[in-house]
Amino acid sequence: MGSAAAPVRQLDPHTVAELRSAAEKILAAFGTSAASPALLEHVARTAGAFSDTLRHHCRPVDTDDGLFVLRGLDVDDEAVGPTPEGWATAGDSGAGALYDLTLLLLATVMGNPIAWEGQQDGRFVHNIVPAPGHETAQTGASSAVLLSPHTEDAFHPGRAHLLMLGCVRNHDHIATTAAGIRKTRLSDQDIETLARPVLPILPDDAYAEAQGYTDQLPPAVPALFPAEDGTTLRFDPAYTPVDRADATYRAAYRRLEAELARVSVSVSLAPGEVLVVDNDLVVHGRVPFRARYDGTDRWLKRASVRVPGRRTRPPAEADEHGYGQAALEAHAS
């Protein structure tokens, strides 16, 4: 694993002030970051009036890294209060809500934020904190184990194009890992093999309801897709029954895994930094750590964004059932 620096987009003080005042106004008007149709409309209108400078900071990923870090937002460590011991108690008022709204605004500039009825109560901005009892899970709530590199919500055809991870607190400098498909070297033969729909990707442990879905069989999906401007990937080995494939496929899959490990970078987010990952180009994960459970634990805010008009995925995804899960879009598209 390398520690090559991720491309950084430094927000200028004027843009930071523009964002802060927008988030403050919305919080003053609604008293919460909990999404209502009226709040979302307010967010859309506000984001639509942002400066060109802010918009430019939010332009699409423009390097082979497939990601960037927005730097410069300020987080008042005292004001956000203790790290909750689980997403459910994170609350949606005060300084934490200000961060939720800032992410929601940024997400709206980049595309259309999405939420899942089946995850974190349908919130548009999730709280990622270590939770007692989940230490070894393959979800954001874990800590003691490596969270293996994955495409976010890989099981679903409506998954995000962009994943945003905003750091509230990270005293122990615990790194998110990121590996971009455009940095890997694979033979044409392997790419061809992995572009065949051979295996399903099953719903992850954050989706209890989807895991109980039995109406239709899990669809086999390609891990790689040769899109117009380069290869994209859909990859989640922890939820893929790789041993069901033949030896040729398994070997190619393992080589993809090894290549992703080789090009993986560590991004240790500091408070106020927002990692933006292109979910079609980059798989992300997290190194293991020891949770503190004393109110000072690592705390990230997460938003998922769809970018209208993208053509980076196989058209056949349109026929997938998505295990009965539906993504809610923040804004009419």
Ligand X SMILES: O=C(O)CCC(=O)C(=O)O
List binding-site positions for 2-oxoglutarate.
176, 298, 302
Identity of the residue, 176 or 264, whose beta carbon is nearer to ligand X in the bound complex? 176
Residue 24 Cβ, how far from ligand X at the closest point, in Å? 26
300 binds, options Fe ion, ligand X, none, Cβ within 5 to 8 A by partner type? ligand X
Q: Summarize the annotated binding site for Fe cation as residue ranges.
A: 150, 152, 284
Residue 124 to residue 114: CA distance in whole angstroms: 6
CA-closest candidate to residue 219, choices 196, 243, 199, 193:
199
Identity of the residue, 54 or 70, whose beta carbon is nearer to ligand X in the bound complex? 70
H or E element that contains 303: strand 299-306
Identity of the residue, 92 or 152, whose beta carbon is nearer to Fe ion in the bound complex? 152
Identity of the residue, 39 or 284, whose beta carbon is nearer to ligand X in the bound complex? 284
Instruction: Select the span of 46-54, 74-82, 146-154, 267-275 touching Fe ion (CB under 5 A).
Output: 146-154
Side-chain half-sphere CA neighbours of 162 within 13 A = 29
**Cα distances (Å, whole numbers) of residue 226 to 10, 67, 182, 187, 311:** 32, 19, 11, 13, 11
Residue 223 to residue 151: CA distance in whole angstroms: 10
Residue 327 Cβ, how far from Fe ion at the closest point, in Å? 15
302 binds, options Fe ion, ligand X, none, Cβ within 5 to 8 A by partner type? ligand X
Residue 35 contacts residue 100 (beta carbons within 8 Å) = no
Residue 81 contacts residue 277 (beta carbons within 8 Å) = no
Residue 21 to residue 18: CA distance in whole angstroms: 5
Cα 178 to chain centroid, rounded = 11
Interacting residues with ligand X (CB under 6 A): 128, 140, 147, 152, 165, 176, 284, 286, 300, 302
Residue 149 Cβ, how far from ligand X at the closest point, in Å? 9
176 binds, options ligand X, Fe ion, none, Cβ within 5 to 8 A by partner type? ligand X
Among 18, 85, 152, 297, binds Fe ion (CB under 5 A): 152
224 binds, options Fe ion, ligand X, none, Cβ within 5 to 8 A by partner type? none
Identity of the residue, 166 or 219, whose beta carbon is nearer to ligand X in the bound complex? 166
Angle at 129 between CA 127 and CA 132, to 5 degrees: 130
Under the rule (CB under 5 A), what is the footprint of Fe ion? 152
